Each structure stands twice: as C-alpha cells, then as structure tokens.
Structure 1
C-alpha cells in the first residue's frame, strides 16, 4: 500500500487527493516502511486555487459590509471598523503604493509593533500586488540590513522616525531600497500614501488597481518571513497566498467553537512572527474581530476593556500569568489558598481527561472543591483576561503539562498547537472537547505528519512553504526526495493521531557516557517555577548534565518578602543559600521527569537574564543556545570543574 501524500499543484489538494486521504485519515504504519509512522487528514474545505488573501477581504466586505473586522482603542473603549471601511482604507493605501512606483512582485519591508496600521499596511501591499517582508521592530541595524538587502526590498513602511533612521544607517548595504519610499506611520506616513494615491498626475486608477489585485492568485508569493535564526543567518521563508488561505479556511472549519463569526481576539504577539500573521488572516476567514495592543504594559488594561473571546500567546506568557497570580496570592497572605486551588484545578482537568477515555471523571468531593475555588480564585483569573475567553491558543514552543492542566481546570482551555514559519504556523492543534494536554494535537485538515526512522517530524500539505528565498542549498537540506519538509523536531504520534514533541534534533545532548538527553523536558519544568526566568541545560560530551538558570527580577522581591527573607537584588540572590536551596528543590522536581542519568547534577545561577536585547533570545523568545553557552562559557566550565 503506497503512502498517501498531501500535495498538489499550486499548493491545493485535488478532489482525488481528498478522497484518498478520507480513506486513510488515521494513524497507520505503512507496510513497506514499518519504522515510519504517518498521519494524514483530508481537507474540510476545497479552495479555488486562484483565491488570494485580498479575495477573502473582498468577499467579506461584499457579503457583510458592516461586519466589524478590526477594532482600535479610542479613549477608554474600542472603535470597530466594518469590512467596507477596512477595504476603503486598504484600497487608498494600495493606490499610494502603486502611485509611488511599487510594482507587482516588488518586496516592501514592514517594520512596526503590533498595531492596526500593521494589518492595514499588510493588506494594502497585497492589494497592490506586492510582497510583504516583515522586520521585527526590535531588530538591530545589522539584522534589518540583512533582511532588506537579501529580499531586495524597494520600499518600506516603518512605525517611528527611529526606524527610518535605522534603515538610513545601513543605506550602503540596501541599495535597492529607495529612501524616498520609506513611510513612517507615526509621522503621517499613511496620510502621505493616501495623498499619493489621490494625486491626479500619479494615480493609477481604480481599474488598474483592481487589475493588480485580481491578478494575484493562490500560487503567488505573499510574504517572505525570515526565520528567527537561533543558528546562523536567518533564511527567507517563502509563503504564498494559498498557504494562508487554504490553512485558515480549514482551521475555521475544524475549530468553529473558537474561530467562527462573532468571536474576537486581542493580538499582542509580534506580527513579524508567523503565528500572529496567520491569526490575522484567520480572523478574515472566520469573520472574527481583530484588535491589537502594541505595548505589553497596556495588555492587562486592554484585555479587560476589549474582552476577547479567545486569546493567543506563547508558553512564556502563560508561565508569567501563573507566576504573577501565585506571587500576588503569596504577598496577600493567601499563598496556601492559591497552592490548594492550583492543585484542585490540575486534578479536575486530569479527571475530565480521564472521563473522555471512559473513566469516572471528577468525583463529588473534587467538584465541590472546584466550585469553591472557582468563586475564590479561578473567576478572578478569567476576569483578568476580560471575562469572556474560554479558549486560548498556545504556539511557538512547548507548554508544560502541569500548566496546561492548571489553566484548563481554571476554565481556560489552552489549545496547544505545533508549527513553524515554514508551515504557515499551525500543522497540528488540540480541538475543543478532545484535548490531550501533553500533546500538540492532531493534524489540521489537509496536513500530513510523518515520524521518520530517527524520530524526526516530517510535514507535508498545502500549508508548507515553497522554499527559501534564493537559497537552493537550504531547500535541498529542508525537503526530502518525496517533498516532505524536515522540521528538525523530534516527536511521536499516538494511536489517536496526537503529536507530541520531545525536542529539537540539533539540540539533543549526548553526554560523555553516550546518554541522549532532550533538554526541553527539564527546561520546561524549571521555567514553571516562579523564581526562574530562563533555564538552559548543558552537557554535550561532558560527564553529566548541568544547567544555567536565571532569576525572574520582577517576581524576586515579592517572593523574598513573602518568606520573611531580606530583599536582595538579582546578583545577591544568585549567591544566597536560601534561594539556591529553593532552586535545588525545583531542579529535583524537574529531575523526577527523567532517568537518573539524564538528571541535572549541578546548576549555576547567573546574574544576567537571557533577553532579546542581549542577543540570547530570538524575537519569538526562543533560546539562542550557542550564543548563551558562548556568553557564559566561564560559568559552564565552572560547572564541570572539580568540586571544592
């Protein structure tokens, strides 16, 4: 029996492909390759290969012109923008781009925080037939120069004058970027574009603008997103309109409880990242309202006033929410109450999971305790998110099982998913009513997962990128002879088709004794402790496993006060015997999840955190392992020096 594939011309499945997949939409072991496990899911929604993202926008505006697609903060509330108004603004901006000389296929850099104008600019670039190249607003001059020059951007929309100055500082390295075509949002950039579009001597006309827009098909390039670059220079990942349209429409079909019309979300993740970018298009496909908040300092206020029906975050956000709630409870003298409430929430969630597979579910005593803590604790946590959200979507890294059960028990089911820039974000995701907290869910419709003989996760489907921008060597390395994309992640599929990720192939540590260690298992558990900000496990070619730990500077003072300990700064706390004793307990708990040979034997507490600013985290908050080890080489060596 041959292995089914999920591929077709222009990234869209044929009806025959869908029929074949419908017959094999289950986990199986191919007869000829017994060491390979595979799961394929048929498409729920067949998509016209010619459809682009702007076609979705036009369709919504035609059918429901008043439907609120976007919302922006005004005073203490929010102003909604109907679909017709969104189209009007996007068309005006697109006219300005065209009048300025931006041609179909040109690359336009977009450098800004997450805000309404980011989304409008993105749609306008597509409407003009061009290609968006996002740049993180925190990027250094060197990083921005590489992205703009490698992609050949001829124009740019930036948020602030400092961003314009940053691009100007690397002008010699970006010869294709016209300095006259750099528009600053906070300096009247949108008005300038609209004025260009209205200039009679420059205007391209409605007919020409529509010709440009409608000429774009699903197979055309929509964006070049540069990977975070944990190692080496970032590569430009080519994503088409079909990648976004097919995946978003099928995600809405697969999870209507979350993404259907009437829903809303507040986006605070960077839109330069593929996860937030996909959600931007998903809101179009699902006809849900999208709002933005550019500053994390305003997040709590904006969540309370906007009241989204679902939230999106990376695991670190959920870790910080838990740690903050726990710390506030401790400082208020209610630490024991919170600890008991957390234990009940986790137990309640696990009992619910047990009921799904035929178990008894939560017993009477547990239900009574859960109801009590719902009034005392859980309702307050839900209120902090606006009070309406019952689902959250987590991506960009693994969420610890304990935290997953905690939030589910609180009443916020975290639907953990898995994907990469190269897969337009999600390939798998847990669904409401069928959540396995320790997994990253089942493949979305149209997606296929294969576990190779060495445990690597391979992916195929209409959501997979067409390759890397002008980088055939990277293409050859990333795709096998049958067109499967090599993710570099290690994982497993269970009998129900749920995927679990165990680590990165290149991050596996092999000790001097030959023991293979997946660092993520230990690191995830350590980061769940309120005192721990970051953790990085080391031990490659060393006699045992060790770890570098950083402290959470925000939590530390309150944590110390609540225990009657002197308030110390991070540098002093890193050496404090009491703090180290608590961290040793956290290490012991993490070690309980692995074998004795894989456990952490020694750890160092660093005085400086790993941050994006010091180059030790990517913009998506992933560890730059090589850079961390290099920056703290002395601390690593000390971990393996003879003990005094």
Structure 2
C-alpha cells in the first residue's frame, strides 16, 4: 500500500476497509488476560467515541487532553479526536498536579480522557472542575463517564472525516529540562511526512510486531509506534507493568524494538549481574559457545526475534552500543526532537558508526552554524509553539531552519555526531569551556554506573556525580565491595582523563545515594537528566568536595 502523502486519518479508514479482520492491538488486562482489537474493532470504537465528542457541541477545533499510560484506548482516542474535528493534547502519565493544571489551562482543554495511571490521586487536584473527564477500562477508580458506556451508547460516526494537511493536529508539550513545558504545534502534514518517511527508510511492513511501552505522549513513540503501525499496518502489543515487562516482551516477540539509553543500560546491567563481564567476554571468544551464549542472552531479554533495534531521546555510550553489537543486535541510534516529530537523523543498518546518530532522513536539510549548532529543516518541522510567537521566532533562523540547541559535526559520509548541548556547556574558573555529554558517555562505560552528571561551573576542573545501578546499590554497603568499586572508579578517572584535554580532566567522582527519578523531578518523563535540578540539589556540598582532594567521594 502506497502511504506517501496520505494523512493519518486516511490510513485509519484504509486499514478499516482492507484489513478490518486482521489483528491490530493486544492489550493486557491483568491476571494473564488480554483483549484483542482487530483494525475493524479499533476503528469502530474510535468512530463511536467521535460521535460522543460531536454530541458535546464543543467549539470547532477544541483541544482535548488525554492522560494515560500506553494502552489500546490511547491510540483510538487520538483517532476519535481527529474524526470529531478537534486537536489532541497528550499529557505524560507521570506529571505532577501543577504541570497537569498548567497544560490543561494553557491549551484550554474542554475534555480529558483519563486512563491507566499509577498516581492519579497525586494528579487529580490539577484538573480544573470545568473539564469533563472520561475514563478508560483500565483507569483508577473514579465516577467519570466510561469508554465502554460511550462505545455501547453511541452509533459509529459515519463517513470519512477530511482534515486539511496544514491544520493543527496535536499539541505536544515538551517535557523540557528547564522551566514550563512548551506546546509544540504539529500539523497533519508534519505527522504524515515523518511517519511515511520513517517507515519507508526502515522498510517496515505488516509482518512486524512492536511492544508499546515508552510514553505515547512523547513524539519518539508516537511517530514510530502509533503512526508507524498505521503507516506500515503492523501489530502492536502493550506492556502491562514494569513487573510483567519480560512476559509482555515475550508475548509480543517484537521484530522492531525501540528504547531509551537508560533502559538499554538497565538491560545490560541485568545480564552482567548474572554473568560477570570478564566471564561473558571469555565465553564470547570461544567459537563453540559464542552463538549459544548470544542466543540465550537475547532470548532472556525477549529480543531474539528483533531484526531492528533502535535507541533515541538521549546519547548512548559507545561501550553499550558495542556490547549489544557484539551480541549480534545492531543497535541503531537516531536523533530527532518534539519540534520535528522525531524525524531528523538515523543510522542505517550496515552503515552505522559508533558515536554518530546517523544520516539525515529523506527530505531533511541539515547544516552546522558558525557556533557549531545543528540546524535542520524539513516538512516535519513544527508550525511553532502554541501561544508563544516570541519563542517560535527565537527557535528559527531567518531562512527557516530549526535551531536544535545541539552542537554537532558531520563526517565525510554525512553522518552526524552530537558533541553536546549549547546551553549545557559550562565555563571553569580558568575560563575554559566544557561540554559535559562526551565525558558522561565515557563514564557510562563502567558497568556499575546507571546515571551520571558532569558539572563544575566556576571550579578549577569538572567533577562527576554518579548514581549506581539498582542491583549494585545494596552491595555498596559491604566494605570490601565498596573498596573494590572505589579502586575501579579511580582507574576509570585515570582512563577518562587520558582521553580528554587537560582542562576537561575530572577532579573527582561523587557517588550519590539519592535516587534520580521522574517522581522527584530529577528526570524528565523520557528519562533525560534535568541537569539544573541535579546541580541545584548538591550545590551547597560542592566546595566541600573539592576541598577534600579525594578521587572518589561517597555522599
């Protein structure tokens, strides 16, 4: 099926007509039970919810919110909102009440779909009383109108709703590492260009299977999973919970698996807890057992059927990439932003280069500014920021390129390497500038480290804050284990310091005992570090750490 220049709703109706009886989504319900949705059932339920939305007589192009973990209803709701002539506003399922309130008020949402959530009681106070709420089958207890009642009570909306390609389709509020989230306005054309281009480059077809578990409120998952499945026609499976993740993976047996760096690192740490790194490397060098070991590890991770694995949202350390590639899983990094619907650069199978995020995708024009900033332009580039013309103007060059905020360089084959964030670069007391990201990537090669933040503005040399892996933390209470770990961190500092310029050499590593999580605002909902929050949390202790003159400090 040719999906070029087809808008998302065109594809919804096309799948309904041509694949109505084919299985589309498998939704876990708990206790090992699942609900299965054919394309026909999914579109029918979306049409019925669209009828309900039409019955509310909302103003044309009203903003309608949806807050839920990933589930079948999330995707059907997006379609229903578009069928009814409105604009979808996804909210991350981990936001606090204050941010929920800000987004619903800023977008002037009239209606909110409330789905599968872990902490609805914490979020609920942020929902204005004027907002009409509808609950999904897996929602926390509430007294809202329910999805199932609406589907049972309303007839399907007839015909095929036509939306203009340049009409606003969705407002994606960026998780943002600083300040209030910005509302990225994306048109149907933006979304269509990104989805059609991404599925064609990856050569995806109806025989693929994917597990949907990264937040659908984020463009990475929405482009390659929600719209990817629509444009390629493949099957989707949903994860029930973190506890059942391995079973969910094994049910889905995905052929395409996308994740973020933190989860790739966690998977690796889980394997290395069972088989120490040195032992695994030794086994991998033995031709007789090499294939068996690789197969066993990938099967244990639920990734043995994966033909294409991707990582995005933040940089992944070279060591982790090489580790997966040694297992026979060519882990491909990609690069994109909310502002271009995750459509910018991607490594191609057989053409990837470790440390690079790949080549520009078809239709993407890229150049490097004089200050080293990566500038991109394509039909996937946003319409602008909602209700913020000034910020929109600041984000574009005079000739229409999007300022990414990332520094980068391009190799002779057109592959892009990101060398740091323009705003993250800090200056030492010696007046030297430091980009933290490349140093952080080198530190992440240590298999006991789960997260790291390199800092040191106005100090003589930079330092690193590290969080130990979940499995390592309890062991660090043992004195002998801690001594071994400390010795390995001293070696790590020496190794890193040999590979960087003198002004970038680390003064020390501080091992912090705190947890950095989405819940305490140290991480964004897509598990990126909120650098300013991390630095502020330890600011008062920094001078004292430098005064100690020790290579490893335990906090």
In structure 1, the partner of 2:247 is: 301
- Are 1:568 and 2:477 an aligned pair? yes
Contact 1:99 1:197 in 2 (8 A): no
- Are 1:396 and 2:313 an aligned pair? yes
User: CA–CA distance in 2 between the matches of 1:390 and 1:379?
Assistant: 16
1:396-432 alpha-carbon deviations (Å, 9 max, x no partner): 0111122212212212111110001101013110112
User: CA–CA distance in 1 between the matches of 2:58 and 2:447?
Assistant: 50
- Are 1:337 and 2:279 an aligned pair? yes
Structure with larger RCO (C-alpha < 8 A, sep 6+): 1
User: CA–CA distance in 2 between the matches of 1:573 and 1:294?
Assistant: 39
Structure 1 residues 266 and 512: alpha-carbon distance in aligned structure 2, compared to 1, 3 A threshold:
same
Report matched runs for 1:166-185 at 5 Å. 169-170=125-126, 174=128, 178-185=130-137
Contact 1:533 1:550 in 2 (8 A): yes
Tell me the SS of whatever aligns to 1:486. strand
User: CA–CA distance in 2 between the matches of 1:294 and 1:149?
Assistant: 31
Structure 1 residues 161 and 631: alpha-carbon distance in aligned structure 2, compared to 1, 3 A threshold:
closer
User: CA–CA distance in 1 between the matches of 2:35 and 2:101?
Assistant: 36
Tell me the SS of whatever aligns to 1:641. helix
Contact 1:468 1:475 in 2 (8 A): yes
User: CA–CA distance in 2 between the matches of 1:146 and 1:625?
Assistant: 22
- Are 1:266 and 2:222 an aligned pair? no
593, 615, 619: which one pairs with 2:521?
615
Instruction: Give the RMSD, CA atoms, in angstroms.
Output: 2.5
Displacement after TM superposition at 1:387 (Å): 2.2
Tell me the SS of whatever aligns to 1:512. coil
Tell me the SS of whatever aligns to 1:620. coil
Report matched runs for 1:454-465 at 5 Å. 454-465=371-382
Contact 1:396 1:419 in 2 (8 A): yes
278, 282, 291: which one pairs with 1:374?
291
In structure 2, the partner of 1:192 is: 149
455, 466, 479: which one pairs with 1:549?
466
User: CA–CA distance in 2 between the matches of 1:121 and 1:206?
Assistant: 14
In structure 2, the partner of 1:255 is: 202
- Given the two structures, how large is their TM-score scaled by the length of structure 1? 0.79
User: CA–CA distance in 1 between the matches of 2:319 and 2:271?
Assistant: 15
User: CA–CA distance in 1 between the matches of 2:173 and 2:108?
Assistant: 13
Query: Which has the larger share of helix?
Result: 1
1:522-571 alpha-carbon deviations (Å, 9 max, x no partner): 212323323212211112222111111222233334xx4xxxxxx628xx
- Given the two structures, how large is their TM-score scaled by the length of structure 2? 0.91
Tell me the SS of whatever aligns to 1:265. strand
- Are 1:225 and 2:172 an aligned pair? yes
Contact 1:338 1:377 in 2 (8 A): no
Report matched runs for 1:470-619 at 5 Å. 470-557=387-474, 560=475, 568=477, 576-619=482-525
Aligned residues: 542
Report matched runs for 1:345-384 at 5 Å. 369=286, 372-384=289-301
Contact 1:230 1:623 in 2 (8 A): yes
Q: Which has the larger radius of gyration?
A: 1
Displacement after TM superposition at 1:80 (Å): 4.3
More displaced stretch, 178-187 vs 621-630: 178-187
1:588-630 alpha-carbon deviations (Å, 9 max, x no partner): 3333432232121112121202111111111111111111111
In structure 2, the partner of 1:7 is: none
Tell me the SS of whatever aligns to 2:508. strand
Report matched runs for 1:431-450 at 5 Å. 431-450=348-367
Unaligned runs of 5+ in 2: 551-555
Unaligned runs of 5+ in 1: 1-44, 199-204, 345-368, 561-566
10, 16, 19: which one pairs with 1:61?
16
1:299-318 alpha-carbon deviations (Å, 9 max, x no partner): 11111122111111001111
Displacement after TM superposition at 1:178 (Å): 3.1
Contact 2:50 2:157 in 1 (8 A): no
Structure 1 residues 247 and 59: alpha-carbon distance in aligned structure 2, compared to 1, 3 A threshold:
same
- Are 1:316 and 2:257 an aligned pair? no
Contact 2:93 2:117 in 1 (8 A): no
Structure 1 residues 231 and 180: alpha-carbon distance in aligned structure 2, compared to 1, 3 A threshold:
closer
User: CA–CA distance in 2 between the matches of 1:592 and 1:234?
Assistant: 39
Contact 1:97 1:128 in 2 (8 A): yes
- Are 1:143 and 2:52 an aligned pair? no
User: CA–CA distance in 1 between the matches of 2:539 and 2:175?
Assistant: 23
Tell me the SS of whatever aligns to 1:253. helix
- Are 1:635 and 2:541 an aligned pair? yes
User: CA–CA distance in 2 between the matches of 1:164 and 1:634?
Assistant: 34
User: CA–CA distance in 1 between the matches of 2:486 and 2:153?
Assistant: 62
